Amino acid sequence: MSETAANTVETSRRGMTVERRFTSPDVHPFDAIEWELRDAVIGDPANPAFEQRGVEFPKSWSQNATNIVAQKYFRGRIGSPERERSVKQMISRVAGTISTWGRDGGYFASDDDGDAFEAELTHILLDQKAAFNSPVWFNVGFEEHPQCSACFILSVEDTMESILDWNTREGMIFRGGSGSGINLSNIRGSTEHLSKGGYASGPVSFMRGADAWAGTIKSGGKTRRAAKMVVLDVDHPDIESFIWCKAHEEEKAAALRDAGFDMSIDGDGFTSIQYQNANNSVRVSDEFMDAVAAGIDWDLKARTDGSATKTLPAGELMRQLSDAAWRCADPGIQYDTTINRWHTCPNSGRINASNPCSEYMHVDDSACNLASLNLMRFRGEDGSVDVGEFEHSVDVVLLAQEIVVGPASYPTTEIGENARAFRQLGLGYANLGALLMSNGIPYDSDEGRTLAASITALMTGRAYRQSALVAGAIGTYERYPENREPHNEVMRMHRDAAYEIDGAAGDVALLDAAKRSWDEAVELGDEHGYRNAQATVLAPTGTISFLMDCDTTGVEPDFSLVKFKELVGGGQMTIVNRTVPMALRTLGYSESQVSQIEAYINETGTIIDAPELSGEHLPVFDVAVGERAISHMGHIRMMAAVQPFISGAISKTVNLPQTATVDEIADAYTQGWELGLKALAIYRDGSKTAQALRTDAQEEKAEPAAEPQVVVQPAPPRRKMPR
């Protein structure tokens, strides 16, 4: 095997050895930084939505991070002596528990290795280099049998018992602070007969009840709503009803808003709108997309006998999908053939669904725990990525995620068995948009895409390298032997893609490290196998991005340089991009020029027409919405650049302006398929009555865009009940 600059973990048949890179044995990570007491207050100080006074935080953490962490992740009843009041308590609870699990599970070659792992993990969390998904912060070290995974995929059969059981299983997942996805295509359509006479209800009808449960159960006992994904295959008899169900509800939401009802996220009026707790996605095959391109007909097929229940032009069905998404941002699209082409475990079952945000995709009745790296914490003074620190952090965090799989609890026996048999992990990153901006690189540029591809390839290659090393020390995942050939073939597909990255405009050292990591991952995997069926995803990193003080989430550009976030449970946060000054200095502006431009952004909410700013530099500051919004193809090309290096998929919104057309949305869905994505979701600005992120310009009510002149699937007739 070739030498590596950061060979931080070695294998032993009795466990792993862990190098100290960030810490020393004689100084606790908590003692290496400055701390201070603060007040965490969200909302109006006179009547706050949340407050906790005298909390202890690292001096380097922002006030926004303080507010979010205290509200969401400090455990214990507010006001009680048991309530956490310090980040020291929170991180000790999580890192200490995981380290104890690792020691008890025989993961470390020696006590010193266990101590080194705990110290390195503590530093990584404390320095905001990485963060686990919310259920880990909610539950680890607090619950006796903590639910640690954020992402679940369920299954359902065409029986009433199975359908009711689906609702129960979802409720248990939501209670633990996680989300789930399910493909309902096994349920017969509403035009199909029941065995004892009459017609079936159909999946869309059952979705209504499941949505109500999701809206009732708050995740993890916190204020966050439950999250879920519902998928339906494009040949299902009820696919048209599925496509339109949320669009019809959005019409109702607009009518209630115009009638004076409170339609904010927590408003009384909004709670009456159905299907809003789920993201909906249509599963399309290459066969369907080819039919759209060829302009030929498409059959909808009965679940019971496979007969055609309806035939319509494939292009018309794509038009309906795009039109509904124009109206309400749903449904999204998932590319079934591509998803299963990159599946590491096809001999154990196909991939039918995803988690709520479409990044986790694996077999039914399975789970994935997530963690994300903060890319800005690995940026050197010259703008380059510190490869050694990045690789070491991947090693430590992935090992922590792997340790969590065994002791964690799962909502059903089947999910627990599959989680431990496949050991799916979802390491990802946040702050890509900020990293690009800080280096003066436009998000929508070849240079930006090359940097993103190189980072992603290095992360996943290093993750699978570590997974192979753990397999050598502990053993492979249980279902690896039956999937050895397809799993190792997918590894070679990833490696080959890394060698296809055009490094002409990129960081040569970073790309070389990425290629090396994949060579080592393939070589070690051929020797030892792998400990994990899946290693990486690109998650939305919503709340944990605040914990890490990120300017941008996941693989996204910034939404806007100044934005306002409505918080579920009450209150609003003003979020100002803090990367702009660094970007301006990178581009050669003086301190006085930087100050003038900063003041202009704070006053106007935009950088357009800022004093002293050169027009040629405007693309560096392009964002998701507004006058200089990144085009939908700018988003899709970025996704295409990183998708070949992700085990799962990418949670990302392709933002379109309010003026976007149905044809542009159809084009986005087609381009996503042609460029090899696994899933795609779009959001036309202002298409939802309740919108969590807004810019200052959106505070003033804009004229709604004209609806396209197409025939809408009629809603079923309704009869009023007597008073």
Q: From CA 467, how far away is CA 293, in angstroms rounded?
A: 41
Closest C-alpha to 602, from 582, 580, 621, 586: 580
Q: Is residue 614 part of a domain?
A: no
Same domain, 195 and 93: no
Percent of the chain with pLDDT over 70: 90
pLDDT value for 691: 58
Contact criterion met (CB below 8 Å) for 203 and 239: no
Q: What average pLDDT does the chain have?
A: 90
Is there a single domain that holds both residue 122 and residue 157?
no
* Long-range contact pairs involving 205-209 (C-beta distance under 8 Å, separation at least 24): 206/163, 207/245, 207/275, 207/278, 208/274, 208/275, 209/167
357 annotated active-site: yes
Domain-terminating residue out of 290, 321, 346: 346
Please check whether residue 79 lies inside any domain of the structure.
Answer: yes
Lowest-confidence region among 237-251, 319-333, 356-370, 682-696: 682-696
**Which residue in 355, 369, 439, 483 is the catalytic one?**
355
Residue 390 falls inside a structural domain: no
For residues 163 and 186, give the distance between their C-alpha atoms in angstroms, rounded to a whole number: 10
- Please tell me whether residues 177 and 86 are part of one structural domain: no
Cβ distance 331 to 325 under 8 Å? yes
Residue 333 phi/psi, 5° resolution?
A: -135, 140
123 and 192 within one domain: no
| Predicted confidence band of residue 5 (pLDDT cuts 50, 70, 90) | very low
Residues 189 and 119 both lie in one domain: no
357, 368, 374, 532: which is the annotated catalytic residue?
Answer: 357
Place of tokens 């912060």: 137
Residue 214 lies in a domain: yes
What local confidence, expressed as pLDDT, does residue 711 receive? 39
Q: Is 64 annotated in the active site?
A: no
The whole-angstrom separation of Cα 178 and Cα 153 is: 11
Q: Which of 96, 114, 143, 129 is nearest to 14 (CA)?
A: 114
pLDDT of residue 570: 57
User: Would the pLDDT of 29 be above 60?
Assistant: yes
Please, which pLDDT band fits residue 626 given cuts at 50, 70 and 90?
Answer: confident
Counted domains in the chain: 2
3-state helix, strand, coil in the chain (%, to 5): 45, 15, 40
CA distance 181 to 189: 20
Last-in-domain residue among 324, 346, 368 = 346
What average pLDDT does this structure show over 182-192?
96
690 pLDDT higher than 70: no
* Rounded Cα distance, 73 and 704, in Å: 38
Please say if the pLDDT value at position 224 is more than 60: no
Q: What is residue 85's predicted lDDT score, i.e. its pLDDT?
A: 97
Question: Cβ distance 5 to 17 under 8 Å?
Answer: no
Report yes or no on 263 lying in a domain.
yes
Query: Does one domain contain both 99 and 166?
Result: no
pLDDT at position 522? 98
Provide the phi-psi class of 31: left if phi over 0, else alpha when psi is between -120 and 50, else beta: alpha
* Whether residue 43 is found in the same domain as residue 182: no
Q: Are residues 256 and 313 in the same domain?
A: yes
* Radius of gyration of the chain, Cα coordinates, nearest whole angstrom: 25
From 249, 256, 294, select the one nearest 275 (Cα to Cα).
249
Active site residue 355: yes
pLDDT tens digits, one per residue of 546-592: 999 999 999 999 988 887 766 555 556 667 788 999 999 999 999 99
Assess whether 123 and 203 both reside in one domain. no
In a domain, 303, yes or no: yes
Q: Does pLDDT of 692 surpass 60?
A: no
pLDDT at 6: 42
Distance CA 691, CA 673 (A): 28
CATH code: domain of residue 247: 3.20.70.20
* Alpha carbon separation from 196 to 164, 191, 220 (Å, rounded): 19, 15, 41
pLDDT score of 322: 98
Domain end, chosen from 325, 346, 367, is at: 346
- Are both 160 and 244 inside the same structural domain? yes
Phi, psi of 379 (to 5 degrees): -85, 125
In a domain, 550, yes or no: no
Which is more confidently placed, 718 or 296?
296
Catalytic residue among 359, 520, 556, 598: 359
Whether 470 and 14 have beta carbons less than 8 Å apart is answered as no
Domain span holding position 183: 151-346
Q: Tell me, what's the pLDDT at 455? A: 98
Provide the pLDDT for residue 573. 61
Flag whether pLDDT at 214 surpasses 90.
no
Q: In the predicted model, is pLDDT for residue 636 greater than 50?
A: yes
pLDDT (0 to 100) of residue 80: 94
37 falls within a domain? yes
pLDDT the model gives residue 534: 98
97 and 155 in a common domain: no
51 and 192 together in one domain: no
Identify the DSSP state of 631: P
